Amino acid sequence: MEGIQHKTVVSANGMNIHIAEKGDGPLVLLIHGFPELWYSWRHQIMYLADHGYRAVAPDLRGYGDTTGAPVNDHTKFSIIHLVADMIGLLDAITNEGEKVFVVGHDWGAIVAWNLCTFRPDRVKALVNMSVPFVRWNPDGDVVP
């Protein structure tokens, strides 16, 4: 899409995170689902940029052009790691402590919910699509 810039944010939580971005203004972090990439947000990036926002859509750990995740070690793909990736990305592309708008879809909504849970100091507002918030229950049984 015209005007969308592609960059690699080096050493964000030890990885090289590919982002697609456009616009100036308050940052909107767009987190994709499974099995998607930044490309899922291409139309929203254009709209947000045209309406005074800086839209940023990363490829998550293990997806697309984001590199550096230990793909042979499934323990490095926990929600803690994914949230840390988003914080590492925000640390690299925003001013210190800046709060951002977060939008998540599908698997990205789970990452976004947990980003808000673990780091509310970095989130201004949240919009999620297709996945409700489910609080973790340490005594729960995920298989009935």
SS3 84: helix
Burial code of 100-128, b = ≥16 C-beta within 10 A, e = fewer? Answer: bbbbbbbbbbbbbbbbbebeeebbeebeb
pLDDT in tens, 72-113: 998 999 999 999 999 999 999 999 989 999 999 999 999 999
pTM: 0.93
Q: What is the pLDDT of residues 28-44, one digit of tens each?
A: 999 999 999 999 999 99
Residue 114 contacts residue 137 (beta carbons within 8 Å)? no
